[in-house]
């Protein structure tokens, strides 16, 4: 029987020795390591560019990567390693425009501007970037350690005690949680989730005939998942940004050059000052990230608020305090690793970045995120568990890149904020449509993606969060399969849910979550953003 350390070692070997791309001084360098490096440096550039983000780059690159590497099991770790690199790099690089130019590209980066940009105006841009880098990588590393230790045990618990009724109820609970927490309206969140399930159920499932296809051949196989996800996430954002530019006749503002003066190094005394804030925010971000759907915006808000309460001295929060930058960056970065806990243990994506890791696994095959990944069998090698530890290894390697050269590369990417949106947005649109066609090789898929793009545009105009739509679209088939199997195993008993105490508890929690979050949120409206949106 293979032990835990055997699987850990096999995962490390799979990353560092399989499929060498070239050799350096006689030492082979695997294609997975190369892809993690490319993804990491590309992620920092993407994160430092306003209007882009890690999910956007992951969405564009995934179909292209699959078309290059194919659908063989050997493609899993290189593709997922590249996506992990983007996720890690973009998390750190997102602080660059917020600190240097007061231009937050994502809602959680808004908190970084409160103290980061005042530090820049005070001539401490270098120190602000160093504080952001150290805090971000520290929070991310802490979150990854929690992921490595908790995900296997949680998966074993789920596999042992949860059957089909409980798993179906758990998916419903997760969807209810995501729909009610994300965004500013519970009703809109639930509408978004139900809309995603509606489109996912078209011409899918175990029926012998297509459903809701209106007799159209184009819909007989349903909507390809890449068209729905990329259309709503990327094309919808591009359409809305282009509409805003046309309506407001925005011109690219000149970037004011800032000068640095005084000591911009990160000294040991500075590290000791910010460590309590990093620790507090890392715990907050990890706890929030382990819950599906909440995202880094709430983590950044709570981390900043907690840091403000424990901060003593000058400068105060909001006036250029390094502690404010540390509290925010540690909180939103520690969400990244923890968001993979529900993915690997339950098969439920918790945020947009996790969605694309699930898409990569589903598209290539050979790895099904969920409880079965961490199953130990006698005298039989569980290849999915090897892939899981290989994924952990790529995350550790990306963190090592972050600790060593990430800060230097991050500070060198400030020039990316000068790219005008009127040039950037058409490029993103063209790349996204090209990526969809490369994977589907069908013009009908392009039309479908444009349809979902306009749907995403309308949802954004109506202030309806897109994350519940995307995640419910992905989980709809899993939910249907669990419901059908539970119904069949119960002997076609329509009340099978109520005969399982655990499933009944999950249902009651889902109802309580919806009732609780119907109350007005305490966060001021000017600080409340839909997940994945941008502040105005």
Residue 1 pLDDT class (50, 70, 90 cuts):
low
- The structure tokens listed for 456 are 């995403």
Separation of alpha carbons 45 and 39, rounded Å: 10
Please tell me what DSSP assigns to residue 252. Answer: P
270 pLDDT more than 70: yes
Separation of alpha carbons 212 and 210, rounded Å: 7
Q: For 167-181, write each residue's pLDDT tens digit.
A: 788 788 878 877 776
Contact in structure between 137 and 475 (CB atoms under 8 Å): no
pLDDT score recorded for residue 492:
77
Check residues 267 and 84 and name the one with the higher pLDDT. 84
pLDDT score recorded for residue 365:
77
Measured from the Cβ of residue 207, the count of other Cβ atoms closer than 10 Å reads: 8
Residues 6+ positions from 406 with CB-CB distance below 8 Å? 40, 44, 89, 92, 133, 137
Half-sphere exposure of 107 (CA within 13 A, CB side): 20
384 pLDDT more than 90: no
Mean pLDDT (the chain) is 78
Check residues 315 and 13 and name the one with the higher pLDDT. 13
pTM higher than the cut 0.75: no
Separation of alpha carbons 451 and 386, rounded Å: 39
pLDDT score recorded for residue 335:
81
199 pLDDT more than 60: yes
Contact in structure between 101 and 417 (CB atoms under 8 Å): yes
């Amino acid at each position: 029987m293979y032990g835990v350390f055997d699987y850990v070692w096999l995962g490390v070997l799979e990353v560092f020795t399989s499929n060498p791309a070239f050799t350096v001084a006689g030492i082979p360098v695997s294609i997975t390591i190369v892809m993690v490096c490319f993804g990491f440096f590309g992620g920092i550039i993407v994160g430092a560019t306003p209007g882009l983000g890690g999910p956007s780059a992951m969405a564009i690159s995934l179909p292209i990567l699959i078309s290059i590497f194919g659908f063989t099991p050997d493609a899993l770790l290189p593709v997922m390693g590249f996506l992990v690199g983007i996720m890690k790099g973009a998390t750190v690089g997102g602080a660059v425009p917020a600190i240097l130019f007061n231009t937050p590209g994502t809602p959680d980066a808004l908190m970084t501007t409160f103290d980061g940009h005042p530090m820049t105006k005070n001539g401490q841009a270098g120190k602000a970037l160093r504080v952001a880098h150290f805090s971000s990588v520290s929070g991310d590393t802490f979150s990854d350690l929690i992921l490595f230790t908790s995900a296997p045990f949680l998966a074993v618990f789920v596999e042992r005690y949860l059957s089909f009724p409980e798993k179906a109820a758990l998916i419903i609970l997760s969807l209810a949680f995501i729909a009610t927490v994300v965004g500013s309206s519970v009703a809109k969140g639930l509408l978004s989730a139900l809309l995603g399930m509606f489109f996912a159920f078209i011409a899918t499932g175990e029926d012998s005939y297509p459903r809701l296809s209106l007799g159209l051949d184009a819909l007989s196989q349903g909507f390809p998942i890449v068209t729905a996800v990329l259309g709503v996430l990327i094309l919808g954002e591009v359409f809305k940004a282009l509409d805003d530019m046309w309506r407001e006749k925005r011109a690219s503002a000149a970037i004011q050059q800032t000068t640095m003066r005084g000591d911009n190094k990160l000294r040991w005394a500075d590290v000791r000052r910010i460590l309590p804030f990093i620790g507090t925010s890392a715990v907050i971000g990890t706890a929030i990230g382990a819950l599906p759907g909440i995202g880094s915006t709430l983590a950044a808000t709570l981390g900043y608020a907690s840091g403000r309460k424990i901060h003593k001295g000058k400068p105060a929060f909001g006036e250029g305090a390094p502690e404010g930058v540390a509290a925010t960056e540690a909180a939103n970065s520690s969400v990244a690793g923890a968001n993979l806990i529900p993915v690997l243990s339950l098969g439920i994506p918790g945020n947009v970045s996790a969605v694309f890791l699930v898409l990569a696994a589903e598209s290539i095959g050979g790895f099904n995120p969920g409880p079965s990944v961490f199953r130990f069998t006698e005298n039989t090698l569980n290849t999915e568990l090897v892939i899981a530890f290989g994924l952990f290894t790529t995350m550790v390697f990306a963190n090592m890149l972050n600790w060593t050269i990430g800060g230097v590369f991050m500070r060198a990417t400030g020039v990316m904020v000068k790219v005008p949106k009127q040039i950037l947005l058409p490029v993103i649109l063209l790349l996204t449509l090209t990526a969809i066609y490369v994977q589907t090789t069908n013009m009908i898929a392009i039309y479908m993606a444009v349809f979902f793009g306009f749907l995403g545009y309308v949802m954004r105009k109506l202030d309806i969060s897109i994350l519940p739509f995307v995640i419910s679209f992905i989980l709809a088939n899993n939910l249907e399969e669990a419901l059908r199997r539970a119904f069949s195993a119960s002997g076609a008993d329509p009340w099978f849910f109520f005969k399982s105490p655990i499933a009944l508890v999950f249902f009651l929690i889902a109802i309580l979550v919806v009732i609780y979050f119907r109350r007005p949120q305490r966060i001021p409206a000017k600080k409340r953003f839909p997940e994945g949106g941008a502040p105005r």
